Amino acid sequence: MSFIEVKHVTREFKSFRRPDGLKNALCTLFKRDYDRMKAVDDLSFSIEKGELVGYIGPNGAGKSTTIKMLSGILVPSTGSIVTGDIVPWEQRKKNACNIGVVFGQRSQLNWDLPMEDTFELYRRMYHIGNVAYKRNVDMFVELLEMQSFLRKPVRQLSLGQKMRAELAVALLHDPSILYLDEPTIGLDVVVKDNIRKFVRSLNKEKKTTVILTTHDMADIEEICNRIILIDHGKLMLDQTIVEFKKQGTDHYYVEVTFSSNWKPLAIPGITMTENQPLCHTYLVDAAMVPFNLLLNSIPDSYDVTDLTIKKPEIDEIVRRLYKNTGSGEENGKLLHIK
């Protein structure tokens, strides 16, 4: 059995349908109609201990609902979830000791307490032994470079400092599973890079299983070795990051720099995407125009000074997948019930 097992999970939400008109509104005092929406629809996947998994999808795909079920906050309408031999919503206390959660837009820190006191508060909440507590605090303070703000109240911390503090608090009790929801949102490049390195080093040292949800594909590329993509509550794709990137090999970009201004290249299978005075960028169909054919297709009269090949970024691969799955439509299918 895998460390995390999600089997045929569906989660429905019921919302009251408000009718138009005073008469119809009065009728709802005696009889109400509801809509049911499937936020997660027959979802199944498994994760082994120590995996780094990117859990992605467009807005409204069901990512947050899944994380809430995995962490025991919500109960599935149907199906089963087991995380490390624990049914999350049935063994809440045991599950809370087994997981760490970081939400990029929701804080678990006390606004008025300095980080030193926050660490002590969480030590008592989780009944952490003195030896393990000191070891973890010393490690996180060093790896996350927290020395300069340990004695500052949380309200005085910068966004990057708060996020580092959130990570330290979430991991203080040595959880075996770490859920990260947009952990680098709004952070600068340096802080993002430090957090990514920290998560990978933590996984390497402690074999912590990490499930990351984010719209920043650089986070996925730098941290994860596997991608699970859902849309409209359904599983659309489950691949290693290497397999996922291969989906972008059907085309490539070429940037051509000329010594003087030339008209765009007119070659079947290539499309101009950017036109600057001395530099053109083209999208090339790899099947129609392999790179060696492209070189031979550029007229000799064109004085090319530089030619650069660029593979599609992971963001573009994801955008194409979202487009193919019809993302952007309303999540789930509304079912009218009485």
**Co-location of 265 and 239 in the same domain:** no
Please determine, for residue 67, whether its predicted confidence score (pLDDT) is greater than 90. yes
**Co-location of 101 and 212 in the same domain:** yes
Q: Where are the beta strands (DSSP E) in the chain?
A: 4-16, 34-47, 52-56, 78-83, 99-103, 177-181, 209-213, 226-231, 234-240, 251-258, 270-276, 279-285, 304-310, 334-337
**What pLDDT is recorded for position 332?**
41
Q: How confident is the model at residue 153 (pLDDT cuts 50, 70, 90)?
A: very high
- Please give the model's pTM, rounded to 2 decimal places: 0.80
**Co-location of 211 and 73 in the same domain:** yes
Separation between Cα atoms, residue 120 and residue 151, nearest integer Å: 13
Residue 113 CB partners (closer than 8 Å, separation 6+): 121, 153, 154
**What pLDDT is recorded for position 46?**
96
Q: How confident is the model at residue 327 (pLDDT cuts 50, 70, 90)?
A: low
Query: Which of 214, 245, 276 represents a domain boundary (last residue)?
Result: 245
**Co-location of 57 and 107 in the same domain:** yes
User: Is 338 a member of any domain?
Assistant: no
Determine contact, residues 337/33, Cβ cutoff 8 Å.
Answer: yes
**What pLDDT is recorded for position 317?**
81
User: Is 337 a member of any domain?
Assistant: no
Share of the chain above pLDDT 90, in %: 49
**Co-location of 285 and 190 in the same domain:** no
User: Is 172 a member of any domain?
Assistant: yes
Query: Which of 192, 221, 245 represents a domain boundary (last residue)?
Result: 245
Structural domain boundaries enclosing 184: 4-245
User: Is 58 a member of any domain?
Assistant: yes
The mean per-residue pLDDT over the stretch 179-190 comes to 87
**Co-location of 220 and 129 in the same domain:** yes
Separation between Cα atoms, residue 257 and residue 303, nearest integer Å: 9
Mean pLDDT of the chain: 86
**What pLDDT is recorded for position 333?**
42
CATH number at residue 296: 3.30.70
Among 139, 140, 75, 156, CA closest to 102: 140
**What pLDDT is recorded for position 154?**
92
Backbone angles phi, psi at 6, to 5 degrees: -115, 115
What is the number of other CB atoms lying within 10 angstroms of the CB of residue 211? 26
Please determine, for residue 129, whether its predicted confidence score (pLDDT) is greater than 90. yes
User: Is 322 a member of any domain?
Assistant: no
**Co-location of 151 and 177 in the same domain:** yes
Q: Where are the beta strands (DSSP E) in 152-241?
A: 177-181, 209-213, 226-231, 234-240
**Co-location of 177 and 303 in the same domain:** no
Q: How confident is the model at residue 265 (pLDDT cuts 50, 70, 90)?
A: confident
Q: Which of 76-80, 94-98, 104-108, 165-169 has the lowest mean pLDDT?
A: 104-108
**pLDDT tens-digit profile of 205-232?**
999 999 999 988 889 999 999 999 999 9
**Co-location of 261 and 182 in the same domain:** no
**Co-location of 139 and 265 in the same domain:** no
Number of domains in the chain: 2
